[in-house]
Amino acid sequence: MGSRSLTRAAQARQHIAREAARILAESSSRNFLQAKRKAAQQLGISDARNLPGNDEIEQALMDYQRLFRSHVQPRHLRQLRKTAAEGMRFLEHFAPRLVGPVLEGTADQHSEVNLHLFADQVEQVGAFLSERGIPSELGERRLRMAGGEYVRMPEFRFLAGEVAVALTVFSGPGARQPPLSPVTGRPMRRAALREVETLLDASDDGPAGPDSG
């Protein structure tokens, strides 16, 4: 393949990534695969080899938010992080960790707060919420673990004001092993309360972004 073909392929990937980012920003979805396929279809690009990686789409989404949502997205992100911090203090018995778009900095008004909790038994989390008068729904979240296997983890969902909160519960052997990120394919980054508070402190001085730790 010549340099001109490589350039065309790179341009196609960039165009798809930008359009996929726009699609994600204007919807409540964070389905990167669906977004890039839809973007490719809308742009008339049929070669699957031109599809960008999820990390490229995430970067394009950050760029889109900085360009077109800089007046609202940081405010939504900060509110979600405040809700996360409050929830983590409330759930401290279960060693909560923040994950996903709220941690990485791409969350917006459509996003939920996703916390990973650790308990000997899933029922402990349900009882904790019930005893404190918090109505919740129990469901599942499909996660990919190291080695490529998929597992279904129990998840409690409820509303904290107007913010949706999802508590994914890890129990038993290997509970501390993080699942793989759907964006990078590497172990998912988890943040403790102290890190989230640091992010909130930093957002007082400027646009919020992911912590480097």
What is the CA 127 to chain-centroid distance, rounded? 27
pTM: 0.82
Q: Which helix H or strand E contains 138, and what residues bound it? A: strand 137-144
Task: Record the tokens describing residue 27, joined without a space.
Answer: 């919807």
Q: Which two tokens stand for residue 150?
A: 């998929």
Domain count of the fold of the chain? 2
- The tokens describing 105, both together, are 């900095």
Report how far residue 146's alpha carbon sits from residue 42's, in angstroms, rounded to the nearest whole number.
34
Assess contact for 134 and 152: CB atoms under 8 A: no
Together in a domain, 97 and 152: yes
SS3 label, residue 210: coil
Helix (H, G, I), strand (E, B) or coil at 137: strand
172: left (phi over 0), alpha (psi -120 to 50) or beta: left
Q: Give me the tens of pLDDT residue by residue for the chain, a chain 213 residues long.
A: 445 555 887 888 888 989 988 998 888 777 888 888 888 888 888 876 778 888 899 899 889 888 888 889 999 999 999 999 999 999 999 999 999 999 999 999 889 999 999 999 999 999 999 999 999 999 999 999 988 899 999 999 999 999 999 999 999 877 789 999 988 899 999 999 999 999 999 877 554 444 433
Q: Which of 50, 68, 86 is the last residue of a domain?
A: 68
Which residue range forms the structural domain that includes residue 29? 3-68
Last residue in a domain, options 27, 44, 68? 68
| Structural domain ending residue among the three candidates 68, 87, 121 | 68
